Structure 1
């Protein structure tokens, strides 16, 4: 597999969302045979470029990296029962069908279990709308689970890795 990319939609740098997303991608990468660390697009660092008129080289590089991913972990904290506006603004910059070669895995970090369906009801549909294949349920990660992140991710990767491998192979032959 060639590229594993993490897209972090938290407006705060160094966030728990960033930690969880990179850790999830690394754990998944080990299970699917990806060598090396994932590439990371952290929107906290490029957020201001989303709202300025005219071209932005840093934004264009980020958009190309995300659109070129074979496997994309898309992570956000849960804000008002959905993903952040920052992530939405970035995804809106991608043209329709930009993720047709991509297998995407949505991940939301949330404070309460009542938001667990947000990953399926809000984040998954936008990824599918952009053409991504989303072969597994999204990961709804409670903030309280972060201290036990290694165990949570071991269970998650065991469940999703076979589906991700199959989906990547399907996309490669399509």
Structure 2
């Protein structure tokens, strides 16, 4: 079994991003991977607002990310970028927290006009943490059925793009050298 960490940057309770991230997590579990979900909602507001680098919550999240064989980071598009709360958390993490780790970036948004947000905002942010970015996937909100938690992707092309990128992510993980114990 392998450890995959899925980090959600959505502050919304009814998040389309979270639905897609959970769908990807279930797909990975069906392939035999152990998946851990971390949400920005798990981090106390004062930790983010006051920049508490030494918070136990931040240390736990950093340890999960550093111990992961692969990471999926997802965020809705807010004002042409990832969420501010995701950035606040990332600012508190060690600079090399994703070093040499395959990272699958995912963004959701209301319109294809926001598609480049993944390229110009999220991927460069993850690269500063030394993650190995995959191509990633942008999903428009109208391709997500918020009432179907098991299979929220209702557009065939979007489902195929997600499946293809997830297969490539798994291939990268399987090519990694096994850790020496």
TM category, shorter: 0.7 to 0.9
2:39 to 39, 42, 64: 42
Partner SS for 1:172: coil
User: Which whole-Å CA distance do the structure 2 matches of 1:117 and 1:90 have between them?
Assistant: 22
Aligned counterpart, 1:125: 124
- The equivalent residue for 1:96 is 95
2:153 to 125, 149, 173: 149
Alignment coverage as a number of residue pairs: 170
Aligned partners of 1:60 and 1:75: how far apart in 2? Answer: 20
Segments of structure 1 that go 5 or more residues without pairing to the other structure are none
Residue deviations 1:32-85, cap 9 Å, x none? x3334x211110231412233473222221222123221111011100001011
Whole-Å Cα distance in 1 between the matches of residues 24 and 39 of structure 2?
15
Distance 1:167 1:35 in 2: 13
Superposition CA RMSD, Å? 2.4
Query: In structure 1, how many angstroms separate the alpha carbons of the residues matched to 2:72 and 2:53?
Result: 28
State the distance in 2 between where 1:138 and 1:85 align: 20
Aligned to 2:153, what secondary structure does the other structure show? helix
In the TM superposition, what is the alpha-carbon distance from 1:94 to its structure 2 partner? Answer: 2.0
TM-aligned CA distance change 1:96 to 1:11, over 3 Å: same
Tell me whether 1:6 sits opposite 2:10 in the alignment: no
Residue 167 of structure 1: CA displacement? Answer: 2.6
* Larger helix percent: 1
* Map 1:9-28 → 2, pairs under 5 A: 9-28=9-28
How many Å separate the matches in 2 of 1:18 and 1:86?
A: 15
Change (3 A) 1:95 1:104: same
Long gaps (5+) in structure 2: 146-151
Q: Give the corresponding residue for 2:148.
A: none
CA drift at 1:170: 5.0
| TM, length-normalised to structure 2 | 0.81
Distance 1:34 1:9 in 2: 25
